[in-house]
Amino acid sequence: MDFSLKNVLVIIATLFFAFTLYWFVQFGTVFWFLSSVGDDISNSSIDYREQIKISNERIKSERALSQLKKEQAYKERIFISSGDHSKKVAYKEELCNKAIFRAMADKSDEAKENKKVLCEGI
């Protein structure tokens, strides 16, 4: 092989082209790998954020439900401890009805006054 300037330049150009092609393939593969890994990580983080959001909403709804149950239980305890007033209301209405019948039958001022007093709160 002759070591002429032309042959040396061709060998240098060929080596430069081969070296450039090698690094292009090498770095292209690395960049492709990094981009695909980055896409996978991005997609998994989006899925993870959605799962966290769903679990947070579920926790909030469970807390609201438990708070509502506590409030209902508290109202029920208050109602039970305050007693059943339905019989008292019926008793008042019964007294009023009796006073009305007495006032109709008696027609006295005292019976009418008694009717007004007993039926006024109803």
118 CB burial (10 A radius; 0-12, 13-18, 19+): buried
What is the pLDDT confidence band of residue 121, given thresholds at 50, 70 and 90? low
Q: Which carries the bigger pLDDT value, residue 78 or residue 36?
A: 36
62 sits in which H/E element = helix 5-82
pTM of the model: 0.40
Q: Which of 28-42, 54-68, 77-91, 104-118 is least confident? A: 77-91
Taking only the tens place, the pLDDT of each residue in 29-76 is 777 788 888 888 999 999 999 999 999 999 999 999 999 999 888 887
Q: What's the rounded Cα separation, in Å, for the pair 44 and 31? A: 20
CB contact at 8 A, 93 and 118: no
At residue 108, what are phi and psi to the nearest 5 degrees? -95, 160
